[in-house]
Amino acid sequence: AKVAGKNCHRFYSRAMDQAVERRVTLERELRGAWERGELSVLYQPVYHLSNGRMVGAEALLRWRHPEHGMVAPSVFIEVAEQSGLIETLGPQVLETACKDAVRWQNRRGEKGPLFVSVNVSPRQLRSPVLPKVVADCLVRTGLDASCLHLELTETAVIGDEAQVSRLLAELRQQGVKIWLDDFGTGFSGLSHLRRVPIDGVKIDRSFIADILRDPDDLALTTAIISMAHSLGITVVAEGVEREGQYNLLRERGCDLVQGYWLGHPLPREEFEALLG
Ligand code: C2E
Ligand code: CA
Ligand code: CA
Ligand code: CA
């Protein structure tokens, strides 16, 4: 048993070394990936449930590694967050998304403006320069502030709540809209809605996935919708993969939807083809 234990220990530490090594390698390779053209921003359309019209898009970052192909955002965003690389990558995504959204507004004309929503990581939210980064980007690109939505996760808001609230208030004063992403997965969602100034919540796709089968998930989704509405907050459901989910969400009064059933994340040119 002792020998097995020893082997076991050796095995785990080797696996751990490999994980650490992979991280360090990824971090090194991610540095400069933007400049080498390995990173791109995709856009997933967001629709209004009451009339089926497209109202905006979420910007999602992709990394095509020269040897390994596509790296999952859940992997490389984490690396960027931990290493601090997100502090340069974040603003690059923001700038690209704002620039592209200006193109869409020009093409849309009378159909009305689309919003673009950009994910902001916890680390970016801790940075006091964020409001200035956003303000400068809006000036440089000429995008109307109300067309820019920032998505924050619940966990990013937890912690220094007073400081985050001040920062969000500053952003909202510029006219930018704030959404709480992955809503329902944290533990204190309800209380945050009272204290943190936000415009919308995105119900996490883990709830949406099962609403047709699981009465609890449907009950929670319905409760989030009615609670948000009573506070004057817009509700987005993400991860809508079937028509049945779409219909059910419409019946329950959800405002906006996003998901594979309506449209996958697309490269800019393909997304722009949807604009007509
Ligand atoms: P997220 O913000 O929750 O983004 C939604 C994710 O759900 C995206 O995954 C999207 O491709 C996926 N998705 C959309 N519709 C469906 C659907 O119908 N079914 C299923 N199963 N999935 C759907 P993706 O692009 O892999 O991104 C994963 C996460 O990486 C994002 O989750 C976000 O947290 C992070 N991320 C992506 N781009 C950025 C970025 O530019 N900055 C930051 N800070 N984080 C980003
Ligand atoms: Ca998001
Ligand atoms: Ca989400
Ligand atoms: Ca469930």
158 falls in which pLDDT band (50, 70, 90)? confident
pLDDT digit string, tens, across residues 124-149: 998 889 999 999 999 999 999 999 99
Ligand 3 center–CA 204 separation, angstroms:
5
Identity at 231, one-letter amino acid code: L
Average pLDDT, the chain: 91
CB-neighbour burial class of residue 53 (10 A; exposed 0-12, middle 13-18, buried 19+): exposed
Ligand 4 center–CA 207 separation, angstroms:
7
Identity at 119, one-letter amino acid code: N
| Res. 1: pLDDT tops 50 | no
Residue ID of nearest Cα to ligand 1 atom 15: 259
Tell if the pTM clears 0.90, that is, is over it: yes
Q: From 75, 119, 124, 127, give the residue whose CB has the most ligand 1 atoms within 8 Å, as the site to mutate.
A: 119
| Res. 192: pLDDT tops 70 | no
Our answer on whether the CB atom of 93 is closer than 6 Å to any ligand 1 atom is yes
Complete DSSP assignment for 65-129? ETTTEEEPHHHHHHHHHHHSTHHHHHHHHHHHHHHHHHHHHHHHGGG---EEEEE--HHHHT-TT
According to the model, what pLDDT value does residue 46 have? Answer: 98
| Res. 27: pLDDT tops 90 | yes
- The DSSP H or E segment spanning 163 is helix 161-174
Contact assessment for residue 106 and residue 56, using Cβ atoms and an 8 Å cutoff: no
| Nearest ligand 1 atom, CA 41 | 41
Angle between helices 73-83 and 86-108 (to 10 degrees): 120
User: What is the percentage of the chain residues whose pLDDT exceeds 90?
Assistant: 76
Our answer on whether the CB atom of 230 is closer than 6 Å to any ligand 1 atom is no
| Res. 4: pLDDT tops 80 | no
Ligand 1 center–CA 60 separation, angstroms:
6
Ligand of minimum distance to the alpha carbon of 156: 1
CB-neighbour burial class of residue 227 (10 A; exposed 0-12, middle 13-18, buried 19+): middle
